[in-house]
Amino acid sequence: MNIYPRIKKQDKEIYAAIMGEEKREAEGLELIPSENYVSRAVKEAMASSLTNKYSEGYPGKRYYGGQEFTDQVETIAIERAKKLFKAKYANVQPLGGANANIAMYFALLEPGDTVLGMDLSHGGHLTHGHPVTYLTKIFNFQRYKMKNVETGEIDYDDMRRIAKKIKPKIILAGFSAYPRELDYKKFVSIAREVGAVSVMDIAHIAGLIAGKAAKNPFDYGFDVMTTTTHKTLRGPRGGMILVREDEEIAKKINKAVFPGFQGGPHMHQIAAKAVSFGEALRPSFKIYAKQIIANTKAMEKVFKKQKARMLTGGSDNHLILLDVWTSFGISGGEAETLLDRAGITLNKNAIADDTRKPMDPSGIRFGTPAMTTRGFKTKEAARVAEIMIEVLTKRDDATVKRAKQEIKKLALSHPIPESFV
């Protein structure tokens, strides 16, 4: 079926690339934990006429005319977001998760102010203060780590000690490669003790929170949450900032997003966010969120049986961080390439205090959101883990070829759904 007839006729080069990606996604398995599939309805919103419209400002307070329908779209997105996450305020305009974090910093900080966040090598994110980012030229980022990388326990005593010493304006929780639940009560307690705003970056687990499969930081007193709208939330690529109840913080965040860092919001993207939030509000999404974790635990069980080293000993959420250097004598970069040849897409990833280079680290990171969207249950998830072990252990062409054939069969028998409702 020709699903892009106009592109095919007008631009054969781009058409070929898009169809190549369609085939790759259909015949392979996506295990990158920050990726997922969206519904056809979300794609339709992204391709709608809303992409034509400039809408600087907020609903009811725009700088251009002709906003009656854009106001409806953004208001619906805001109300659905607030309902999903128990927030009093929501800004759905950030173009991505990094944009959301940057706007949040500038809303709550002055240049030179201090943020206490998780160390990148222990699971944090670039926008949490890694030295390669420009944010570190403006704000002072200090870091906390895990006390025990085998269990994933955060060193909360050391976090409190550091916080008392440096008096941060923000205490930042959240991660991009941390497989355990955080103790939200301790974060909030420390933040209040030193007069800091408590912020949780829920980008990776937003869908698990929305689906009631993971704890909601707002239930424990967090002030602000930032997030992407894709990943486990299964919406379009984009960002969002949520405020539990503080109106002054919400006003500062709105000003920081627009006009502080962005001009006209992408209304087609906001419409797609609204559609995906509507999907996440359905009872079926709770089933999906719980299955993500069940599938992760099924994979964890296989790797434990193999005695492979998983950082933090396993997972409570959607992702696993595997030390392939210790477990299989292969680097993360080599493992990523090898598994890609077998039709399994994941990413190389540094492990805690990794001694190898970032572009060829000791670990790989993988997760279950996308395979769960395809209808994979624990049996299939466990088999994928077994195939990964076979490929990483044997590494020969014959094993890779057999694995690719089985992965293709598994993928085609679980086609990417067009609708989740």
Rounded Cα–Cα distance for residues 197 and 200 (Å): 10
Name the residue among 120, 116, 112, 118 with its Cα closest to residue 139: 112
The segments of the chain whose pLDDT lies below 70 read 1
Q: How far apart are CA 127 and CA 335, in angstroms?
A: 26
How far, in Å, CA of 316 to CA of 213, rounded?
10
pLDDT score, position 1: 60
What confidence tens digit (pLDDT) does each residue in 360-388 have? 999 999 999 999 999 999 999 999 999 99
Please tell me the distance from the alpha carbon of residue 217 to that of residue 207, in angstroms, as a whole number.
Answer: 13
Whole-angstrom Cα distance, residue 374 to residue 376? 6
pLDDT of res. 175 = 85
Active site residue 237: yes
* Predicted local distance difference test score (pLDDT) of residue 370: 98
What is the pTM (predicted TM-score) of this model?
Answer: 0.96
What is the identity of the amino acid at 148? N
Fold of 285-413: Aspartate Aminotransferase, domain 1 (3.90.1150)
- Is 4 considered catalytic here? no
Say which residues have a Cβ less than 8 Å from residue 75's Cβ, sequence separation at least 6.
59
Is 227 known to be catalytic? Answer: no
Query: How many CA atoms lie within 13 Å of 5's alpha carbon, on the beta-carbon side?
Result: 2
Check if 201 is active-site.
yes
Residue ranges covered by each domain of the chain:
44-280, 285-413
- What's the pLDDT at 126? 79
Q: Which of 4, 54, 58, 220 is catalytic?
A: 54
Q: Which of 114, 227, 228, 373 is catalytic?
A: 228
Query: Given phi > 0 = left and psi -120 to 50 = alpha, else beta, which region is 65?
Result: beta
In the 8-state DSSP scheme, what is residue 261? I
Any idea what DSSP says for residue 400? Answer: H
Which one of 30, 74, 201, 334 is the catalytic residue?
201
User: How many residues in the chain?
Assistant: 421
Q: Give the class (CATH, top level) of 44-280.
A: alpha beta
Distance CA 126, CA 76 (A): 31
**Catalytic-role residue among 237, 290, 395, 402:** 237
Q: What share of the chain is helix, strand, coil (3-state, %, to 5)?
A: 50, 15, 35
CA–CA separation, 360 and 410 (whole Å): 29
234 given a catalytic annotation = no
Selecting among 35, 56, 354, 406, the annotated active-site residue is 56
Catalytic position from the list 231, 244, 348, 404: 231
